[in-house]
Structures are given as structure tokens and as C-alpha cells.
Chain A
Amino acid sequence: MTEDKRLEKIIGKISRLPTLPDNIQKINRMIDSHNSTMEAIGHAIASDQTLSAQVLKLVNSGFYGLSNTVSSVTQAVVLLGLNVVRSLISTAWASGMIVKSFPGLYEHSLACSRTCYLLSKNLRIEEPEEIGTIGLLHDIGKVVLAEYLPDEFAKIQAMVKDKRMRFCDAERAVMGLAHNDIGKWLLQKWHLPQAAIDPIAEHHCFKASSGHARRTAVLILSDVMVRAEGFGWGGDNVMPELSHEVTDILALQPKDLRRLMDELVDQMHDISRYTGDKT
């Protein structure tokens, strides 16, 4: 098959991506309309018990941990803002699928979310919670791959195992594209804000000149740290690339990393408490 035909086939399969259910689309429309109050949106989310429980769990495991629990959806909406809540709702809905189709990925994503949040606060980058949701969703493309492209997924897994390749490199070898591209398509379909989508699209092709390079750099560094410590499973046991461009843009020297990672490990020990329960 030529490369073009291969890409066409992939895109054809991905076009059958799931749309979000009606109640979630309704909440997203409320958010987008800029006409609804935070209370009204909080109420709309809270009226779906399963969804609101999942959202709260994500809020607490992805950002705050046990030290500062958020206990109501309206509180979450007010604290985090609508952009973040929007991403969280989609993730909450997808979490069952994530857990089922790619064991270990949910844990990896939660750890990455928390790390993105902590790194952003530490490096004084704006909107740490938004960057946290980027960490949470950055590998959603892998879930789509596992669910909707099973033949390709099997080939990729075999390559990773036999040739000791990185998952993203095996993806490109088999499909001509990788999970960052697939993730971008899904998140655009879900109408997530572009500021959330762009770092995810670029986390395997970093451009220091891009407008959100700092956020992308935080995401890349978080992924590296989380993989290094072995939280969860991202699809391979090979360290991702970490170019000096990424660390330069964050103004980090190797010696700065120890302090950051010590703090991280301290904050991470409760994360497994959230990932055991798969609802």
C-alpha cells in the first residue's frame, strides 16, 4: 500500500470516532454560549451523579490530591474555570474506555496531569490547572488507536516488543502518523479549546518558536519524569526524547531537576489510591 493510501485508510477508520453523549454536548454548549452562570453549569453537571463523581475524582487526583480536596462540582467550576472543567468532563466520560482499552494508561495520564500542574506552579507558568488537563489528555490518541485501529495497534505493540522501539516511532512506522495526531483529531471533534489541543498535538514534535512552546515543554518534561519514575504504562519501556530545547525554554539546568522530582514523588504517593477504583 502506498503511504497516501495508508493514511486514507487510517483517517477513514478514525472518522468513526465517538461523539460525546447528548448531556455532555448540552453542558459544553452552555459553556460555549458564555450565557450561563457558573452555578447553572455546576448544577447541570451535578444533575448527572456518575459524571459529577468522576469529575470530582479527576479534580482531586489530577491536581490537588488529598491535601486540599474539592468536594462539590460548583466549587470545582469556580476554582478551575470553564476551560478546565470542559476538558475534565470529556475525560471523565472517556475514563471507562481508557481503563478498558489500555491498561496502565490512566495511571500514567493522572500522574502526568499532577506533574504538569506541579511543574507549572513551580516554574510560575500561568494557568497550571489548564496545563494539568493537557497532561491528562495527552495520550488519548493511544486509546483511539487501541479501540478503533486494532490491527495497527497489534502491529505496533509487536514492534515495540521485538525491536525495542518507542511506541510513537512504531506508530509512525506502521501508520505514518502517531497518537499526538490522532489525539488532535479527537479533541477537535470534541471542541476542546485550541490552547489545550496544540501542546498535545506538538508533544512529539516540539517547536521552540511556537506560541505555546512553554506549555508543550512542561508536558514533555512531565511525560519524561512520569515515565522515568514508572507511574503507570505509556506503551513502552523506552525513555522519550528530551531535547535541550525543551529544558532551555523552561530555563532548567540538570541540577534543577532533583529538587523538582523530589517534590513530585512526595506529592505522588496518593495517586495510586485514586486509580485502583475503576469507576
Chain B
Amino acid sequence: MKEIPLEQVQEGDILARDLTSSNGAVFLAAGSILSAPALTRLKKMGIQNIAVKAKNPEDNAEAINKLLQLLEERFSGTENNPYLQEIKSIVIDHLKKPE
């Protein structure tokens, strides 16, 4: 699950992972709906990136496809290297992991 910059988060997005302060305390739990005031508060706190659940499965699928394309490009020409091929399949699994 990747994090996105706060500016790209939309009102109504759902927080995908607990937000913790530097001592480990959770100040906003996963599942919270991010209202406009909440987003402003997070911005004031200096938070830069957060993980949000994708609203549409299609949005998510499109993002993943783009990342998979980049991955294919990155690994092209490495077919004869068993280590790189194994790393490639691990990264694909990480990308496809359900949120």
C-alpha cells in the first residue's frame, strides 16, 4: 500500500492506515473518513503523505496497472537472471496485495 501526498487526498477518502505520532500513539485510526476540516488539521500538523483506501476498485486497478507497466519496463532484459526474476515476482505480489 503506497502513500500519497496530502494535497491529492480528496474529502471523503478513507484513511487506510493508522496515523501515529512520533512516540507511537495513534491519533487517527484507519477507517476514519477524511473530512475537509480533518485534512486541514493534518496539513497544519505538517503531515505530508498518508495512505488512503481507493474509492473505486477501478481507480485502484488502473493505478496498479500503471505500476505493473513500469515494472515490466524496468525488468525487461533480465530474463536470464534468476535473482532479478525472483525479485520481480516478489514486487508484483506486493503490488497486488489487497488493501
Contact = CB atoms under 8 A, between A and B. Distances in A.
B6 to A, nearest CB: 8
**Number of contact residues on B: which range applies?**
20 to 34
B84 A242 contact: yes
Contact of B3 (A239, A244, A273): A273
A237 interface: yes
B1 to A, nearest CB: 7
Contacts of A71: 22
B40 interface: no
B47 to A, nearest CB: 7
Contacts of B56: none
A225 to B, nearest CB: 7
**Number of contact residues on A: which range applies?**
20 to 34
Contacts of A242: 81, 83-84, 87
A272 B83 contact: no
A228 B48 contact: no
Interface string B64-95: 00010011011101100111111110110010
Contacts of A225: 87
Nearest to B5: A276
Contacts of B86: 254-255, 257-258
Interface of A: 60, 66-67, 69, 71, 224-225, 227-230, 237-239, 242, 244, 247, 252, 254-255, 257-258, 261-262, 265, 269, 272-273, 275-277
